[in-house]
Amino acid sequence: MATTSSTSLQTIMALEMINGDGVFNESGFEEVIRGTAASIPVIAIVGPQSSGKSTLMNHLFRTDFGVMNAQIGRGKTTKGIWIAEARSDIEPLAVVLDLEGTDGKEKGEDDRAFEKQTALFAIAVAHTVIINMWWSDVGREHAANRPLLKTVFEAMLSLSLFSPEKTTLHFVVRDGNSKTGTPSNELERILNEDIEEIWEAVPKPLGNEGTLLTEIFNVEVTVLSHYEYMRDKFDEEVVQLQKQLISHNLDLSTSKISLSSAKKIWDIIKNNKGFEVPPFRLMFATTRCDEIAMDKLGLFQSNQAWLELEQNAKTQLVKEFGAQTNSILTTYLTDYDKETKNFESSTNGSYDQQVHEVRSSKRRDLTLKALKVVYPAYMNTLGHLRSETLRSFTTQLRARRENFSLSAFESFQTCYDSCVLQFDQQCSDYATVELANWEDDASTAREQLLREIKEHALNQLRDELSISLTTKVLNAVRDGSVRDKWGCIRSFMETENETAKTAAVGIFGSENEQIVSDLEKHARDRVVATFKDESLNVDQLMRERFILALAMGGNTMSTKEEAYRQCLDMLSTMAVIRLDDAYDVVQTVLRSELLMDANSNDGIFLSPVTWENVPLQMTLITPLRCKEIWTNFKQEMEAHLAIVDNAYQEHQQQQQRSGTGTGWSLPKWAILGLWILGVPAFIVLLYWNPMLASRLAIGAAVSSGLVTALQNGRYMYSATQEDIETDDVPSRHPRIMESLHQNLNTTYECLTIAQRILNLATPVVA
C-alpha cells in the first residue's frame, strides 16, 4: 500500500484518488490538481498485478507510489487509482496515475468489472497510457494482459474516433534485454504482432470497420532491462523513457477530458455497470462538449467588449447592442463548433446519431446560458428604448400644446404614430439579438409603452382641463359683470367636457365610457375644489364686490343698498355648489332673512345647519355661518364707510378753507377701496374688472389728484407684482398671471391717457 508521507526531499507525495471500493477522494484530488495547468500531460500506467508498475512510476517521476514488499508475498499492492503531480526541480512535468493491477489469483467477477472501469477512466483522462508487461507474457496466447488489452483497445477506439489527435500507447516490456531472453527487437516484433491480432479482433463501430490501429494510436515500445540483475542499465533506460514520455506531450491535444471533470467521469463509469463501449463514447462526447461549452461560456462572460456593452446598457441606450452582442456570442459559438467538430456524426450508427445530438444539445445549452447572461442587459435596453420613446412623445406633445389648448390633443395621433414607429424601428435596429427569441419581451415592452403614452396623454389632458376650469371659475367668481355665476360655470363646464371628450377619443381611438366619466368627474372635482378654496375667502370677495358695486353705481345711498344686495348674492353664490341644480332657495332665504334687516343686525332667524332641499355635500357655508359672516361684514363696512366719509368731508372742507383748487377728487369708492382692501388687493380688483380701471382713470382725469393716483398706480403696479410673486398663484395658475398682466396694462394705459388729458387741462401738481 502506498504511503502518503515523504521519504526524501525529492520524493513526490502520492494520494489515493479512487479507493479499492471505487470511492472518489474529491478533496484530496482537488488538493493535488490545484494550480495545475490545464495543459499538463497526464500519464497513466496499466498492466498485470505485481508487474512492477508502481516501481517504474517511482523511478520515472520520483513519486512514492506504494510497492510490494517481496518479503510479505505477492498480492494486490496498489488498490484503486493513485495520483501524484510529477515535478522537475522547477516546474510540474506531468500528472501521473498508478492503477491497480489486473489479473491475479484474488480476482472475482466484481474485480474484473472494477478493473475495466479503472482502465477506462485512465484512458479518458490520460494523454499517454503505459501498458506494462513481463517479457515472458509477450507472444503468449493466454497471457494475463490480453483481456486488458482488448478492453483498452475497445475504449481507445471509440474515444479516438472523436479525437483530433492520436493517443499514445506506450508498451513497456520488463526484464527484457537479458542475455538468456529473447532479444529486444524480436520482442518488439512479436509484441506488434500480438497488438495487431488483438486489434483485428476488436469490433469496430459501423462505418469504421477498416480503421487501422496506426490511424488512431501512436504505438511505442520500450524494453527495459532486468530490474535486479541489470540495475544500472535499467536506470539509464528509465531516464531515456522519461524524456520520451514528456517530450511527446509537449503539444497537448485539447480533446482529452480535463482533470477537473474527473469526478464526473468516474461517476458515469461507475454507474455504468453493464459496461459497453458505445455508452462510453456518448459519455465522452457529453463530458467533452460540456467542458468546451462551459469554457466558451466563461470566455464570453469575461469578454471585455461584452462587459463594456453590459455596463453601458445599464445606464444608456446602446445603439448597436443587439448586433454587437450577437456578433460576440457568434464568435464563441463558432469556436464551440470548431472544437467539437470531432463529435459531428461521421457514421450512420445509432450511437453516432446520439453523439451528434449531444453536440447539438450542448450547443443549445451554451446558447441558452449565454443568452441568460445577456437577458438583463437586453431588458435594460428595452427599458431605455421605452423611456426614450416616451420622452420623445412628451416633447412632441408639449411642443404642440404650447398655446395651452385642449384642442392640441387632436395632434395626439400624429405624435403617437411617429413614436410607435420610432420604437419599432429602434427595437429592431438596436435591440434585436438574432440568436435569441425575445419577440415576446419586445412586444410586452411595446404594449407597456403604448399604455404609458396614453396614460401620459390622459394626465396631460386632465391637467389641461384643471388649468382651464380653474381659470374660468376664478374669472366667473371675480368678474363683476357675470351675474349668474353658477349658470356660467355650468355652461363652460359642459363645453370643456365636450372638448375633453373629443380629445380622449383622439387618444384612445374610440369613446371610452370609463375614461369619459373619469374626465367628467375630474372636471367636476376640480371646479368643486376651486370653489371650496374661494368660499373660504368669501369675506374678501364680498368686500371687493362692495367696492365694485359702489364704483359702478355712483356714491348714493340707493347704491349702497344695491351694493349690499350684490354682496349678499355673492355670499349666496359661495354658500352652495350649484353644479346640478340652481338651488334658488338659498338666495331667496338669504335675501328675505338678512337683507330686510340690513340696517338693524338683529332679530334674524335662519334654519340652523342645512339649507332646505340642498344636499349636505353641496353645502359650503351653512345658513348660520352665513348669518355670522353677514353680520360681521355689515358692521365692518358700516364702520369703514363712516371713517372714509369723515375723512373725505374733512379733506374737502380743508381745501375749501385754504382755497386750494377744486380739492382732492379721487372717487370715494376708490378711497374706500384702497382703505378697505389695501393697495395690492385693490389693484387686483382693477385687473379683474377693467371697467373699474377706466372709471378710476376718467374720475381721476378730471381732478388734480390724478398725478397722485398715477403715482399710486405706478407704485401699485410694482407692489402688486411683488405681492403676487410671493404668492404661489403664478405657479399654480399661470394663466391668471397672464390675464393680470393684461389688465394691469389696460389700467396703466388708462391712467396714462388720463394724465395726458389732465396735462392739457390743468397745471400738474407735484
Query: Applying CB under 6 A, which residues contact ligand GTP?
Result: 49-55, 67-68, 70, 76-78, 101, 174-175, 227-228
The CB-of-234 to ligand GTP minimum distance in angstroms stands at: 7
Contact of residue 68 among ligand GTP, Mg ion, none (CB under 5-8 Å per partner type): ligand GTP
- Enumerate residues 6+ apart whose C-beta is below 8 A from 465: 406, 496, 500, 519, 522, 523, 526
Rounded Cα distance, 433 and 324, in Å:
8
Please report how close the Cβ of residue 76 comes to ligand GTP at its closest, in angstroms. Answer: 5
C-alpha–C-alpha distance, residues 202 and 196, integer Å: 10
Least distance (Å) between residue 72 CB and ligand GTP: 9
- When the beta carbons of 77 and 468 are compared against ligand GTP, the nearer one is 77
In this complex, which beta carbon is closest to ligand GTP, that of residue 227 or of residue 508? 227
Q: How far is CA 397 from CA 400, 407, 468, 501, 678, in A?
A: 5, 12, 18, 18, 43
To the nearest whole angstrom, how small is the minimum distance from the Cβ of residue 81 to Mg ion? 11
* Phi, psi angle pair for 320, to nearest 5°: -100, 20
Burial 712-724 (b: 16+ CB within 10 A, else e): bbeebbeebbebb
Which one of Mg ion, ligand GTP, none is in contact with 747 (Cβ closer than 5 to 8 A by kind)? none
Write out the three cell numbers for 404.
Answer: 395651452
Query: Out of Mg ion, ligand GTP, none, which partner does residue 275 contact, by CB within 5 to 8 A per kind?
Result: none
Q: If you ran DSSP here, which 8-state letter would residue 592 be given?
A: I
3-class secondary structure, 240: helix
- The region that residue 81 occupies, defined by phi over 0 for left and psi between -120 and 50 for alpha, beta otherwise, is beta
Q: Which is nearer to ligand GTP, 130 or 445 (CB)?
A: 130
Cα 444 to chain centroid, rounded: 14
Tell me how far, at minimum, the Cβ of 5 lies from ligand GTP, in Å.
18
Partners of 131 in the β-ladder: 46, 171
Is the Cβ of residue 223 or residue 637 nearer to ligand GTP in the bound state?
A: 223
Alpha-carbon distance of 41 to 38, in angstroms, equals 9
125 alpha-carbon distance from chain centroid: 44
Q: How many angstroms separate the first and last alpha carbons of the chain? A: 127
Closest to ligand GTP by CB, 184 or 471 = 184
**Contacted entry of ligand GTP, Mg ion, none for residue 49, CB cut-off 5 to 8 Å set by kind:** ligand GTP
CA–CA separation, 358 and 364 (whole Å) = 10
Q: How far is the CB of 139 from Mg ion (least distance, A)?
A: 25
Q: What are phi and psi of 738, to 5 degrees?
A: -60, -45
List the single partner that 755 binds among ligand GTP, Mg ion, none, CB under 5 to 8 Å by kind.
Answer: none
Least distance from ligand GTP to the Cβ atom of residue 71, Å:
9
Look at residue 229 and give its three-state secondary structure. Answer: coil
Cα angle 396, 398, 401 (rounded to 5 degrees) comes to: 115
**What is the DSSP pairing of strand 167-176 with strand 128-134?**
parallel
The interface partner of residue 228, options being Mg ion, ligand GTP, none and the CB cut-off 5 to 8 Å by kind, is ligand GTP
Spatial CB neighbours of 597, under 8 Å, sequence gap ≥ 6:
603, 604
Judged by beta carbon distances under 5 to 8 A according to partner kind, the member of ligand GTP, Mg ion, none in contact with residue 52 is ligand GTP
Least Cβ distance, residue 6 to ligand GTP (angstroms): 19
Query: What is the closest distance, in whole angstroms, from the C-beta atom of residue 360 to ligand GTP in the complex?
Result: 42
Q: Which does 51 bind (CB under 5 to 8 A by kind): ligand GTP, Mg ion, none?
A: ligand GTP
The three grid cell numbers given for residue 595, joined into one nine-digit string: 337683507
- Residue 321 near residue 381, CB atoms below 8 Å: yes
Closest to 544 measured CA to CA, from 687, 698, 717, 676: 676
Instruction: Answer with the entry of Mg ion, ligand GTP, none that 117 interacts with (C-beta below 5 to 8 A by kind).
Output: none
Query: Considering the complex, what minimum distance in angstroms separates the CB of residue 79 from ligand GTP?
Result: 8
What single letter denotes the amino acid at residue 502? T
Nearer to ligand GTP, 138 or 644 (CB): 138
**Sequence-ordered list of residues with C-beta below 8 angstroms from that of 332, at least 6 positions apart, any chain:** 296, 297, 299, 300, 303, 366, 370
- Site residues (CB under 5 A) for Mg ion? 53-54, 77-78
Please report how close the Cβ of residue 60 comes to ligand GTP at its closest, in angstroms. Answer: 12
C-beta of 84: minimal distance to ligand GTP in Å? 14
- Binding partner of 50, given Mg ion, ligand GTP, none, CB within 5-8 angstroms per partner class: ligand GTP
CB of 109 to ligand GTP, least distance (A): 19
CB of 222 to Mg ion, least distance (A): 18
> Please, which residue, 70 or 766, has the CB nearer to ligand GTP?
70
Which partner, Mg ion, ligand GTP, none, binds residue 166 by CB below 5 to 8 Å per kind?
A: none
Residue 232 binds: one of ligand GTP, Mg ion, none (C-beta under 5 to 8 A by kind): none
Q: Which does 70 bind (CB under 5 to 8 A by kind): Mg ion, ligand GTP, none?
A: ligand GTP
217 close to 199: Cβ distance less than 8 angstroms: no
Residue 278 is inside which H or E element, if any? helix 277-301
By beta-carbon proximity to ligand GTP, the closer residue of 51 and 712 is: 51
Looking at the Cβ atoms of 55 and 426, the one nearer to ligand GTP is: 55
Residue 55: name its binding partner from ligand GTP, Mg ion, none (Cβ under 5 to 8 Å by kind).
Answer: ligand GTP
- Among candidates 23, 81, 33, which has minimal Cα distance to 57? 81
Q: Return the number of the residue (68 or 527) whose C-beta is nearest ligand GTP.
A: 68
- Please give the grid coordinates belonging to residue 386: 421605452
CA dihedral 256, 257, 260, 264 (to 10 degrees): -160
Nearer to Mg ion, 82 or 531 (CB): 82
Nearer to Mg ion, 54 or 222 (CB): 54
Cβ-Cβ contacts under 8 Å for 664 (sequence gap 6 or more)? 651, 652, 655, 703, 704, 705
Closer by beta carbon to ligand GTP, 51 or else 389: 51
Nearer to Mg ion by Cβ, of 77 and 255: the residue is: 77
Residue closer to ligand GTP by CB (options 76, 524) is 76
Residue 238 or 692: which CB sits closer to Mg ion? 238
Q: Which does 174 bind (CB under 5 to 8 A by kind): ligand GTP, Mg ion, none?
A: ligand GTP
CB of 274 to ligand GTP, least distance (A): 26
The item of ligand GTP, Mg ion, none sharing an interface with residue 665, based on CB under 5 to 8 Å by kind, is none
CA separation, residue 488 to residues 484, 568, 579 (Å): 6, 19, 10
Cite the beta strand spans of 88-190 per DSSP E.
Answer: 92-99, 128-134, 167-176
Q: Which residue is nearest to ligand GTP (CB)?
A: 101
- Beta carbon of residue 230, minimum distance to ligand GTP (angstroms, whole number): 9
